[in-house]
Structure 1
């Protein structure tokens, strides 16, 4: 089994928020959810158990930096995995978001190379989806589990040992679920030409996704995975500046609901064609916390005024 090293997926201080996007287009992301939601699929893609991984001694409480001992150098030619501690929490299903801690060791010397997420400062949640890479490490582990994964030498680096603590599992359909606006929420005004101008209020930006339906359309309902045509303007909560606008480009954008960041996805699914919506999303539901992603909007709470123009069923 060939798997991508998790270190390569955990750049920027071990953060693994797998978000991507490009300026001047819709707020795109790698898909973050599957329609199957089947834990059994993740069980099947997990790295198999092996004696080398089992030989690694790991002690300490889950969530705290472990004490790891093994007889170096470890010699093996294929990836191995064991569940050192089996948690009794929720089992990871395809598309679920996992908050975790990670320590990485050199299999040749036993030296600790990286560590993050322990002692109350977890790495930002990551979606675990079939074929994503991390699926082979996490498999269908349960919340509260401690995993040991050994990966052989490859073109990208030497042999490694990972200790991964599964701290929290959030079901895909509950991640960044939209709520009604709180007391502090932006406002929007439309020009005679239908161009929105968003005003950011004074006060701290809210967590999660908050959504207000400004005008409810009478068209078809947007379902998960549908392709939508949308007009939108996006601004930063921090300074109110516009960072992207289909109105300014003169034409709406088209994309799948599962191809955008979580907050934007929540703003679309379940709404009807013709609806105008104002939505705010904190960094975890957008492009990640500052330092967790190289995207220029990482760390920003984003606000969108959007109108659903058309929908095409998947």
Structure 2
């Protein structure tokens, strides 16, 4: 697999949840009442369909070539690349990267490839009918395309490319270290950690269990993780994302030992990190098993806005007259 380039911020792209766009503003996908036209879907192609050429592998921002003068006469969908993972199941967590382009202007209207992928739930209520229909029957690892007619609100047709990403590490299995805890995985990738006999370690230890092919994790980046944390002393699970949703977090906000174990690891990897109390929570020696699902050169905002990219700084106008600063009123209660 070709190494994936690092995700970098795009000043022209504002991170917006695709479900909200599809359901409310209809910039990309019209409501089903306006566009449910039926008919056979076109045959799938790994590189081109519906006169819009799409190049690149799943998980990497696709390159779109839109022929000049292309006219869209109906809404159509296609599977460009069929993934080898399981079929999506109602109610499950899904991880999506997507790119939407206005066919007439060439303007990018949605792009998550510059930031972290979107974590969503596979239900019609969460996704809206159009995106839900596009994903129905899809497998993890697939790349899908929808070419969409314009609407009264936005008359321009759009092309939407959606990647359905893995929810667990993908890569090459690496030899295990017999002195470290052993890890077994459920069918969905969820780890079970077995602590070995012997004294509790007092130093940080790291082992790469699966080696991914993506870009390296660096300080100052943000990552999307599946993780499980187990207390060495009794094997109790003290933290996990499995059974919930992957966790977006800034690397610098992780415990020092865990951050040190993940820096320079690659996207797609599964890493075991033993973190003593002084490098972790100050109390326990913890064993982390971490799947690195995505990396991005962005700083996450507080919870609830972590999927947004800051607006570009306003360009200063040398001829503009600066607003005078307001002079604060004196506080009568303040002594001289």
TM over 0.5: no
Give the TM bin, normalised by the shorter chain. Answer: 0.3 to 0.5
Which structure has the larger Rg? 2
TM-score by length of 2: 0.38
TM-score by length of 1: 0.40
